[in-house]
Chains A and B, each alone.
Chain A
Amino acid sequence: MEVAKLTDITRVYKIGEVETHALRGVDLTIGEKEFTTLVGPSGSGKTTLLQLIGCLDMPTSGKVFINGQEATSMNRNQRADLRKGTIGFIFQFFALVPTLTAYENVELPLLLMGEKNHKGRVMELLDAVDLSDRAGHRPDQLSGGQQQRVAVARALATNPKLILADEPTANLDTENGTQVMEIMAKLNKETGVTFVFATHDPRVIKYATRVVSLQDGLIKKDEKVNGK
């Protein structure tokens, strides 16, 4: 069963009179339980592709299907609803809401879903990332690694089918980067949630079960590998 399917995707950014072709006709299918990395040099289109899979952006042409639903025919609110229940995000910068505690950050997607009895679920997730003792701490009271682990817990809160992570270890030291990747790999194995990473960090790539290489807006190589 495919979680995401992109067909003949192009994405052109126009700044003034200048057009930049970030993607030039990409076909990609992401299956369940995959631990996929999109790799390539800067400007190859990996972040753009990740944003299109996450329905944060719309392609210039082509179609995006998420969990069988065509996102490219949806309006902004429908795409927000689709993201809310289906896709979790982890960003390169520690993208927590600074005014909320770790607990409240993880709780937020559940509140947006309208779920009320979620205390157990939130604590379970914080426990999974080994931060249940930091539940009441705000982001500025947590280290970078701890913040990224909270972001992982938050991404998992609504039991999404797909988690998209853009350079999740870029701002972490080796120890924290490894710890975060270990947690995500473990969650992938235990819960079956699909992960897609945009990265050029070897620490991430070594965990991948599939590596998709991009160059100049095109997929150059797509190979199955034996992740750690």
Chain B
Amino acid sequence: MNYILKMSFRNLMRNKRRSVFSALAIAIGTALLLFMSATIRGEMRGSLDLTINLRTGHLQIHAEDYKDANMSLKRADMIEAPLDISNQIEEIPQVKAASPRLNISGILAFKNETIGVQIIGIDPPSAANAIYKDGMVSGEFLTSDDREGVLIGLPLAESLDLGPGDSIDLILNTSEGDTDEQRFTIRGVYTTNTPGYDKATIFMPLEKAQTISRTENHASMIYILLYEMDDTAAVKAAIHAPGYIIEDWEELNKLIILVEQLSNAMMFFFNLMVLGVTSTVIMNTLLMAVYERTREMGILGALGMKGKQIRSLFLTEATLLALGGVIVGLAIGVPLVLYYAQVGFFFGDLGISANSSFMLGNSIYPHPTVGDVISVSLAAFLITILSGYYPATQASKLEPVEALHSNN
């Protein structure tokens, strides 16, 4: 077997440039597939994480008829005494935070500008607000007893040239079906790096939001974050909230899960296309090699080399090309993916609305997994060897006497 390996390696070295370009095709294919799969995975994972953190939580409790998109303020659509329920839920060990939220639709008025916004009443000390606290750009976070303060997002602040200390007017819907208007002071500016959300979401303390919307002691939902996503089913089973609906992140993010499945299917076809092009290059290279070395195959046959040994010779060449290509592909792809996993791709505002069920940040961070590296490498490796099978079989079928009379 060693002599087959030696001959195969030297055969590849005969035409170094062709071998290098063939291996490069495999390398580029491998790197591209790795990069694409990590990017798609990163996009989907990022979107799901953001949507869970900003909108749905891992679990959510709400009234049976409450629809997030409507931001209904009818008492029947709301949760009564929400803090009692959230405090109870926070005692479950797997729960990181459980916090009531009151969603109100409204309009921001500043000078001659009016902008439709969603106002979310939050319980300021709750750990559920960590994402906003961590993203404070200027000013201070809210306190529970603040009656005039609000937080606005960075894109909104920039577009209206607002900052901490500035005043804005908010016109809000109330549970009685009318509107109320009040002047608020901006306490701070936050960013979640989700432009669609940040430019249209304003936070105020829950109590103030309840007062102005006349929904005293009521909330739209209880937002629950867990330490581990895998504990969702166990925590869901442990929550006791009679009369209300408990939904988990899968039920609340059906669209994202559907899009992820669609992306995976598209990725499969993308893989097929890239590997198809790569395999054509390899097949062409090896067919050329068979054509150029026809007489040599005749000599080997005359010396007693059997068809299967000649096939092994070409399959070993394909294997060496695959090995070189995949290693170089990983050497290019892995550092590239790891680099972009750190710095991300900046896309800016993709125009997704604040209450969309599909949140997208301003950057995509590829998320490589060991599984991706293994599956992409194996796919590239196997496809290359399979591509070599046809030329190798053609070579093995050459009759020595005909091959010896070839001009090649």
Contacts and interface: CB of A to CB of B under 8 A. Distances in A.
Contacts of B401: 51, 56-57
A108 B303 contact: yes
Interface stretch (B121-129, B191-199, B293-301): B293-301
Contacts of B111: none
Interface in B276-331: 295-296, 299-307, 309
B14 A99 contact: yes
Interface residues of B, number: 23
Given A51-B401, A91-B404, A84 B11 contact: no
Contact of B400 (A56, A93, A100, A111): A56
A175 B306 CA distance: 36
A36 to B, nearest CB: 19
Nearest to A111: B3
A107 B399 CA distance: 23
A54 B296 contact: no
A77 B6 CA distance: 23
B14 to A, nearest CB: 6
B274 interface: no
A18 to B, nearest CB: 17
A46 B292 CA distance: 27
A80 interface: yes
B7 A83 contact: no
B304 A95 contact: no
A84 B299 contact: no
Contacts of B10: 99-100
A89 interface: yes
B90 to A, nearest CB: 73
Which of B302, B306, B401 counts the most chain A CB atoms within 10 A? Answer: B302
Interface in B363-377: none
Contacts of A99: 7, 10-11, 13-14
B308 to A, nearest CB: 8
B305 A97 contact: no
A76 interface: yes
Contacts of B302: 54, 56, 83, 89, 91, 95
A84 B404 contact: no
Nearest to B296: A97
Contacts of B7: 97, 99-100
B267 to A, nearest CB: 41
B36 to A, nearest CB: 38
A136 interface: no
A84 B400 contact: no
Nearest to A92: B404
Contacts of A96: 299
User: Which of A85, A89, A154 gathers the greatest number of chain B CB atoms within 10 Å?
Assistant: A89
A104 B10 CA distance: 12
Given A51-B401, A57-B401, A80 B301 contact: yes
A54 B299 CA distance: 12
Nearest to A99: B10
For chain B, what secondary structure do more than half of its interface residues adopt (helix, strand, loop), or is it mixed?
helix
A127 interface: no
Interface string B5-43: 011001101100000000000000000000000000000
A225 interface: no
Contacts of A109: 303-304
A98 B306 contact: no
A83 B399 CA distance: 14
Contacts of A84: 303-304
A83 B400 CA distance: 12
Given A56-B401, A97-B296, A98-B296, A108 B3 contact: yes
Contact of A80 (B11, B296, B305, B404): B305
A12 interface: no
Nearest to A76: B307
Interface string A139-169: 0000000000000001000000000000000
A112 interface: yes
Contacts of A83: 302-304
A201 interface: no
B296 A112 contact: no
A107 B10 CA distance: 16
A81 interface: yes
Nearest to B9: A99
B376 to A, nearest CB: 32
Contact of B303 (A51, A76, A98, A112): A112
B136 to A, nearest CB: 68
Interface in A93-152: 93, 95-100, 104, 107-109, 111-113
B404 A81 contact: no
A77 B404 CA distance: 18
A56 B404 contact: yes
Nearest to B301: A80
Interface string A30-69: 0000000000000000000001001011000000000000
Interface of B: 3, 6-7, 10-11, 13-14, 295-296, 299-307, 309, 399-401, 404
Interface of A: 51, 54, 56-57, 76-77, 80-81, 83-85, 89, 91, 93, 95-100, 104, 107-109, 111-113, 154
22 contacts: A56-B404, A57-B401, A76-B307, A77-B306, A80-B305, A80-B307, A81-B304, A84-B303, A84-B304, A85-B304, A89-B303, A91-B299, A91-B404, A95-B295, A96-B299, A99-B7, A99-B13, A100-B7, A100-B10, A104-B3, A108-B3, A108-B303
Given A99-B14, A109-B304, 15 more contacts: A51-B401, A56-B301, A57-B399, A80-B304, A80-B305, A83-B303, A84-B303, A89-B302, A95-B299, A95-B404, A97-B299, A98-B14, A99-B10, A107-B3, A154-B303
Q: What 7 A-B pairs have minimum CB-CB distances, sorted nearest first?
A: A84-B304, A99-B10, A57-B401, A56-B401, A95-B299, A83-B304, A111-B3
